[in-house]
């Protein structure tokens, strides 16, 4: 039974020691990749969804800007009789 200890626990010479900074960088890259995959899950065109969200935010900003000016920045209407 003692002969299998190397098999179960692995021999240290089989594995290279990885620099801690390299390991952190690889973990950060993997986390970013998981986030991008999770954001696009179930969408045919994830970039199209992002564009639509940006357009919606831009429209909301424009509407807020018009409200800040009190609605006075629009077209002038003249009623002719």
Q: What is the DSSP letter of 2?
A: G
**29-64 per-position pLDDT tens digit:** 999 999 988 887 887 888 888 899 999 999 999 988
Q: Is the pTM of this model over 0.75?
A: no
Q: What is the mean pLDDT of the chain?
A: 79
Mean pLDDT for the stretch of residues 22-35? 95
pLDDT at 42: 82
Report the distance separating Cα 11 and Cα 14, nearest Å: 6
Domain layout of the chain by residue ranges: 16-65
Dist CA 14 CA 7 (whole Å): 11
């Amino acid at each position: 039974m003692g002969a299998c200890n190397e098999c179960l626990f692995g021999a240290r010479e089989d594995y290279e020691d990885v620099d801690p900074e390299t390991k952190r960088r690889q973990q950060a890259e993997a986390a970013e990749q998981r986030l991008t995959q999770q954001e696009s899950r179930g969408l045919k065109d994830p970039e199209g969804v992002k564009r639509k969200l940006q357009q919606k935010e831009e429209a909301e900003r424009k509407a807020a800007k018009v409200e800040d000016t009190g609605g006075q920045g629009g077209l002038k209407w003249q009623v002719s009789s």
